[in-house]
Amino acid sequence: MYDLIIVGGGPAGLTAGIYAQRARLKTLLLEREFVGGQIALSDVIENYPGFPSISGAALMEQFEAHAKKFGLEIRLAGVVDISDEAGVKALKTTEGELKARAVIIATGAKPRRLGVPGEKELTGKGVSYCATCDGPFFRNQRVMVVGGGDTAVKEAVYLSRLASTVYVVHRRDKFRAEKLLQEKMEASANVVLLRSHVLKEIKGEGGVVKKAAVEDIKTGAVRDIEVEGVFVFVGIWRRALPAYSRPVTAARPRSCRWLPPSGTGP
Ligand SMILES: Cc1cc2nc3c(=O)[nH]c(=O)nc-3n(C[C@H](O)[C@H](O)[C@H](O)COP(=O)(O)OP(=O)(O)OC[C@H]3O[C@@H](n4cnc5c(N)ncnc54)[C@H](O)[C@@H]3O)c2cc1C
């Protein structure tokens, strides 16, 4: 029996592990794929204080070493269900059943993809889901933002301070973002609003983004726009665990979409 089991070995899970070990809790971290989480896939990280430029994999190796230094036990196993048995949490995992007094779910979230041609192949090569992470790579270049909610508009404003031109593609006539954010976006001289437009395809050349094909849904006209970056902000899928997806709904972020219990999300 563990005091604490942490589900997920990304930055959040490893950080929780460090604190738990320092609190002298008997802790186990379970990770179903590879320790490090999504950030381990990033080539360069430039926004983590103390590390002006480091690869995601190298940063996560340091997180893991740090957690292990305090004695964190890490095992590769996926958690498929959690149930509460008189205050004790029983975890069904791909490697058998485990018990703990408490569980921290740090299973991360995934940006929702558009599913248009070119998106998957060019992710990390001009297609991004994080302006804070990747915006500085597009200084004085042309970028496109897809989405019409708070996140899309906020990130468009942020990108307008870096990029030469920011095209904002939104499928509706009106933006859903809060009015203040919209005003900021509209006041940015280098933001071009493409209302009632949808992104149809992202086109690459030499393995990087070169153009984006957009359709005016009122006229049906499709045209190519030359851009070096495409930022997609159309929602987030939270990776939920079936038994625990309900009790934490109150804390979900506004743009969050829930994985159905069958786990059919992206
Ligand atoms: C390509 C890319 C580049 C990025 N670049 C930056 C950047 O430069 N700067 C920045 O600040 N952020 C960046 N991000 C965002 C950053 O990766 C996330 O904010 C961060 O990884 C979130 O950490 P997390 O621990 O909450 O979740 P995750 O990193 O998603 O970790 C969750 C972990 O839980 C595991 N897991 C899920 N379900 C289960 C289960 N049932 N059982 C066991 N394990 C499970 C997953 O396998 C995963 O390892 C980038 C993301 C990507 C994809």
What are the catalytic residues? 130, 133-134
263 or 12: whose pLDDT is higher? 12
User: pTM for this one?
Assistant: 0.74
Helices assigned H by DSSP within the chain: 11-22, 56-69, 131-134, 150-160, 179-187
- Residues 90 and 96: their CA atoms lie apart, in Å, by 11
Nearest-atom number in ligand 1 for the CA of 12 is 25
- By the 8 A CB rule, do 105 and 244 touch? yes
Q: Does 47 sit in the ligand 1 pocket, CB within 6 Å? A: yes
Q: Scanning the structure block, which residue is given the tokens 């995601």?
A: 56
> May I ask the CATH class of domain 2-110+237-259?
alpha beta
- Where do the structural domains in the chain lie, given as residue ranges? 2-110+237-259, 113-234
Distance 45 CA to ligand 1 centre (A): 13
**113-234 adopts what CATH topology?**
FAD/NAD(P)-binding domain (3.50.50)
Work out the pLDDT band at 244, boundaries 50, 70, 90. Answer: low
Does 2-110+237-259 match 113-234 in CATH topology?
Answer: yes
Closest to 146 in 3D by CA, of 191, 215, 216, 198: 198
Q: Tell me: the pLDDT tens digits for 15-74?
A: 999 999 999 999 999 999 999 998 887 777 888 999 999 999 999 999 999 999 999 999
265 or 87: whose pLDDT is higher? 87
Distance 225 CA to ligand 1 centre (A): 31
Q: Does 13 sit in the ligand 1 pocket, CB within 6 Å? A: yes
